[in-house]
């Protein structure tokens, strides 16, 4: 069959706006959608835009407890200024309560489920929901800008259909919510490559977190040192992910593509490039074709350099998973459309050069420590794979 790829998007995604001042500004999604369009990456017969749907309550309960979902719904309908629900992680500066939050985040979850449906029923081989990747929320806890965990709901939905799921998370922040929800499930392999929790929220993601019970050995963590650059990031990904994926033999791959590890991101301390995200998406695409008949579901994630990084990074991800060439230059119509709104000069090249961000402190020592961790994780392997 043709290698059809679905870009799951709607302007309704922009309703997931935690507050006017919040760093998770949905303008990044509109910028990404329009850049993908300007690059001609939705013009071919096998790359198409698909509308999301709203997740049902039953689907939300695949990864969240009923009292939590009910409280989110109640507060969504009747938000109270300054109210706080610490039991559920709601009402903090990270996760403020806002009108319509249940509906807005249910649409994000439904976008990831629509991507999974298309991949499972043959409507597409690959699908990308850029609004997804809200990987911190746990069963009864909002966390890290995430009200519901669309990635976990998507993985649970795939498990409900009997599939073995490889979940690869390359956000700068540890994919803790997904890890904990599937910590005892040997049919879900979670691999997270992220900045070490010694310096960054949520403070988890040590290699010692390996799963529990039947799931022991199926949680994999590769924490990076601050200032990890493109070369080290790519080296560690290529050391760990392909070998463990081949040992696990998934039926489907779910890839979280947070791009907040970029050198320009204001909330982290890493030095990835837009090329880093393209590389990892291409690797996920290759592994999907090698191991699971091409079945690949991609989601977004963090990314707070809203204008200069996120649109280019996720356009690169879309080009990679839909197997299309990326133009060298940012299209002039996109620059013309957004220049008057942008608070800073817009980039003119799709890829940034590493020389833009020199010098990088402790580069060799950082790469050596990252390599040691990655080699240790790879050497440990999966249960029964020695």
> Catalytic site residues?
136
Buried residues in 371-386 as b, exposed as e (16+ CB within 10 A): eebbeebbeeebeeee
Tokens of 377: 């994780």
What is the SS3 assignment for 244?
A: helix
Tokens of 157: 């939905």
d(CA 259, CA 273): 9
What are the φ/ψ torsions at residue 254 (nearest 5 degrees)?
A: -115, 120
| Residues 6 or more apart in contact with residue 87 via CB below 8 angstroms | none
Place of tokens 């790469």: 367
Tokens of 54: 């709203």
33 alpha-carbon distance from chain centroid: 16
d(CA 141, CA 301): 18
Could you give the dihedral angle defined by the CA atoms of residues 284, 175, 94 and 148, in that order, rounded to the nearest 10 degrees? Answer: 80
Strand ranges (DSSP E) for 30-108? Answer: 47-50
What is the SS3 assignment for 15?
A: helix
What is the DSSP secondary-structure string of 291-359? HSTT-EEEE------TTTTHHHHHHHHHHHHTT-PPPSB--HHHHHHHTTT-SSPPPSBSS--GGGG--
d(CA 190, CA 179): 6
């Amino acid at each position: 069959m043709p290698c059809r790829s679905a870009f799951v998007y709607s302007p309704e995604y922009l309703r997931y706006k935690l507050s006017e001042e919040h760093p998770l500004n949905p303008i990044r999604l509109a910028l990404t959608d329009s850049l993908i369009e300007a690059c001609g990456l939705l013009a071919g017969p096998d790359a198409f835009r698909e509308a999301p749907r709203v997740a049902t309550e039953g689907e939300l309960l695949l990864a969240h407890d009923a009292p939590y979902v009910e409280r989110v719904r109640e507060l969504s309908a009747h938000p109270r200024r300054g109210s706080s629900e610490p039991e559920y992680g709601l009402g903090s500066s990270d996760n403020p309560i806002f009108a319509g939050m249940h509906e807005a985040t249910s649409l994000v979850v439904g976008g990831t489920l629509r991507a999974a449906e298309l991949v499972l029923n043959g409507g597409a081989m690959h699908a990308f929901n850029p609004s997804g990747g809200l990987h911190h929320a746990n069963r009864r806890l909002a966390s890290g800008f995430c009200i519901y965990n669309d990635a976990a709901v998507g993985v649970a939905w795939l498990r409900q259909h009997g599939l073995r799921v490889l979940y690869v998370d390359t956000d700068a922040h540890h994919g803790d919510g997904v890890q904990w929800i599937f910590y005892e499930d040997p049919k879900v392999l979670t691999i997270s490559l992220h900045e070490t929790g010694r310096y960054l929220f949520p403070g988890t993601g040590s290699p010692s977190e390996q799963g529990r019970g039947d799931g022991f050995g199926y949680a994999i963590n590769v924490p990076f040192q601050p200032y990890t650059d493109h070369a080290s990031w790519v080296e560690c990904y290529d050391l760990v992910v392909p070998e463990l994926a081949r040992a696990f033999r998934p039926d489907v791959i779910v890839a979280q593509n947070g791009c907040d590890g970029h050198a320009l991101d204001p909330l982290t301390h890493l030095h990835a490039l837009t090329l880093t995200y393209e590389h990892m998406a291409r690797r996920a695409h290759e592994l999907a074709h090698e191991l699971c008949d091409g079945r690949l579901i991609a989601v977004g994630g963090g990314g707070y350099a809203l204008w200069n990084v996120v649109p280019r990074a996720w356009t690169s991800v879309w080009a990679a998973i839909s197997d299309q060439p990326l133009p060298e230059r940012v299209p002039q119509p996109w620059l013309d459309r957004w220049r008057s709104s942008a608070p800073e000069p817009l980039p003119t090249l799709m890829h940034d050069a590493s020389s833009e961000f020199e010098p990088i402190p402790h580069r060799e020592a950082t790469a050596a420590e990252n390599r040691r961790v990655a080699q240790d994780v790879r050497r440990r392997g999966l249960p029964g794979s020695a």
